[in-house]
Amino acid sequence: MCFCFSPPLDFRLPRVETALFTSGFSVPSCVWQRVISMVMVAVGVYARLMKHAEAALACLAVDPAILLIVVGILMFLLTFCGCIGSLRENICLLQTFSLCLTIVFLLQLAAGVLGFVFSDKARGKVSEIINNAIVHYRDDLDLQNLIDFGQKKFGCCGGISYKDWSLNMYFNCSEDNPSRERCSVPYSCCLPTPNQAVINTMCGQGMQALDYLEASKVIYTNGCIDRLVNWIHSNLFVLGGVALGLAIPQLVGILLSMILVSQIKDQIKLQLYNQQHRADPWY
């Protein structure tokens, strides 16, 4: 049962500051959290509106603008419940805040466990996402920059291999493809050239037509999936520390919000008891 009760002004908890710090919120942090969430939503909406409608519809599942909007809205709602619930000592908002944090934590835990247990299926899903991103590489500038950054960062090209870029209509190797980039790969697949003042964006021209050994002299030939898996295996302790760093504040927030709810309920019971026995001469 959810009691949306706020104690009257003349009957608050003994120290309002204790309630604020118990729930993990303060007035400045509440303001900054909501400002950050609103900025995320604003940036996401602006980026979404500046795109062409066709590109937006074609690449909805991997659009960073949509991700910013969703995360910003959820962050705003979550911090609103936590901040206002702790400031006003509202049981309903505090329980909503605790429930949302619990759901987020359980979803993160389930994703980690399922990703570890069903690693083959997770690998197939990642491969599907990467292939879909390759197909829409030229349709979305944000996605294009993200893929270029990933390929340069991990030193890879394509999903399984550099020839996966044939999935894109501009880089397809078929004879009837009129594109000037036919059978090519993006410039982010090219091996870095030391002391290069100007980036050669045509360095991947015709690389898909070459065999593995010849292409490896100019571009990265290994796929990004294997590179990503190797990177995860080599940084397991770092990723575990990051996951733990994200989980601990969530668990602390859940625990302290429930403690605050319990304190508010105890004060409500005490107030009701005092009201019932106020007329008792022996009280």
CATH, residue 149: 1.10.1450.10
**pLDDT averaged per 10 residues, the chain (length 283):** 46 42 51 70 71 48 67 82 82 88 87 75 81 87 88 92 92 90 93 81 90 91 88 82 84 86 86 75 57
In eight-state DSSP terms, residue 177 is: -
Helix ranges, the chain (H): 16-22, 27-49, 53-58, 64-88, 91-117, 119-135, 141-154, 212-215, 224-234, 236-276
Q: Is 109 domain-assigned?
A: no
The per-residue pLDDT for 10 is 42
Q: Is 6 domain-assigned?
A: no
d(CA 201, CA 217): 17
Q: Is 32 domain-assigned?
A: no
The per-residue pLDDT for 236 is 78
* Cα within 13 Å of Cα(129), Cβ side: 14
The per-residue pLDDT for 235 is 84
CA 275 to chain CA centroid, nearest Å = 49
d(CA 12, CA 18): 11
Count of domains for the chain = 1
d(CA 231, CA 94): 40
Is the entire prediction scored with pTM above 0.85?
A: no
- Extract the tokens encoding 115: 């990703």
φ, ψ of residue 161 to 5 degrees: the values are -150, 175
The per-residue pLDDT for 63 is 60
d(CA 132, CA 121): 16
Q: Is 51 domain-assigned?
A: no
The per-residue pLDDT for 11 is 43
d(CA 31, CA 29): 5
d(CA 211, CA 208): 8
175-176-179-184 Cα dihedral, nearest 10 degrees: -30
Q: Is 209 domain-assigned?
A: yes
Q: Is 201 domain-assigned?
A: yes
The per-residue pLDDT for 185 is 94
The per-residue pLDDT for 184 is 93
Expressed as residue numbers, the domain containing 128 is 120-245
Q: Is 44 domain-assigned?
A: no
Q: Is 61 domain-assigned?
A: no
